[in-house]
Amino acid sequence: MWTYRFKGPSPESRPMTIGLPNTGRLMSEVLASCPSVLGQFQGNRRLVARIGDFRILLARSTDLPMLVTEAVCDAVVTGRDYVWEAGLGEVLHEAWNYGYQKNELCLIGRPGESYVTTDALRVVSQYPNLADKFVRPVYPNATVRPISGAAEMYLREGLADVAVDAVMTGETLADNGLVAITSYLESYAALYTLPGIADETLSQIYDLLRIGTIS
């Protein structure tokens, strides 16, 4: 598990910074709701833009949780699964649930196959830390192999026994003759900050991203 240290620039020495995904469906959905931000990144490859008192930074969804704890960003929009994979699920404050990109992190395998007696279970996952956390108590001798591609291929080609992966509709699993065996973690797109963020600051972030009001 990664260990993060607070070693970024002091928040007082930089503009208030919000980290957003730099690619994929999540980026498209987030930016579509805030045209003022979208306009700064259309037709170019910029990673940083200034909008009024804010600084907007684009980064990989998997890197965004760390950017809050490293004091690079004051808030980020990313998936709940990435926050927990980074070991920050009990550190960061979930300030807003977008209500989309819903999925469940599941153990997936072949239907009708029993893994009860499988001692040295071969596991593949794009979430190696969570896979180890969830699988290891049941299979102490399991090996977890980090991957970046489609987990289904590893199971279909006999390179792994099971996978821990995000399941949204289950259609991809069904198309590849696989099933979800156990559900471990619910995930969705959310806004995250460090605990204790001032209501006034959070309200300004809400206004920029057009996501609601503080109750």
Domain assignment present for 215: no
Nearest in space to 180 (alpha carbons), one of 160, 163, 158: 163
Domain CATH for 74: 3.40.190.10
pLDDT at 40: 84
Residues 139 and 164 in one domain: yes
Residues 62 and 119 in one domain: no
Domain assignment present for 3: no
pLDDT at 5: 46
C-alpha to C-alpha distances, 107 to 90, 136, 194, nearest whole angstrom: 22, 12, 30
Nearest in space to 214 (alpha carbons), one of 196, 199, 195: 199
Mean pLDDT, the chain, rounded, equals: 88
End-to-end CA distance of the chain: 35
Task: Please give the average per-residue pLDDT across 46-59, as a whole number.
Answer: 91
pLDDT in tens, 143-186: 999 999 899 999 999 999 999 999 999 999 999 999 999 999 99
Task: Compare 50 and 210 and report the one with higher pLDDT.
Answer: 50
What percentage of residues in the chain have a pLDDT greater than 90? 65
Residue corresponding to tokens 């995000």: 166
Residues 109 and 64 in one domain: no
Residues 193 and 181 in one domain: no
Give the CB-side neighbour count of residue 179, counting CA atoms within 13 A.
7
Residues 169 and 180 in one domain: yes
Residues 181 and 200 in one domain: no
Q: Which residues face 145 on adjacent strands?
A: 124
Domain assignment present for 26: yes
The count of other CB atoms within 10 Å of the CB of residue 134 is 20
Lay out the sheet containing 54-59: strands in order across: 48-51, 54-59, 16-21, 75-79, 189-193, 93-97
pLDDT in tens, 86-144: 999 999 999 999 988 899 999 999 998 777 656 689 999 999 999 999 999 988 889 99
Residues 18 and 84 in one domain: yes
Task: Please give the average per-residue pLDDT across 196-209, as a whole number.
Answer: 90
Between CA 72 and CA 56 the distance in angstroms is: 11
Is-above-0.85 flag for pTM? yes
- Which pair of tokens denotes residue 203? 């309200």
Domain assignment present for 164: yes
Q: Report how far Cα 80 is from the mean position of its chain's Cα atoms.
A: 5
Q: Is 89 helix (H, G, I), strand (E, B) or coil?
A: coil
Question: What range defines the domain where residue 42 resides?
Answer: 11-101+189-209
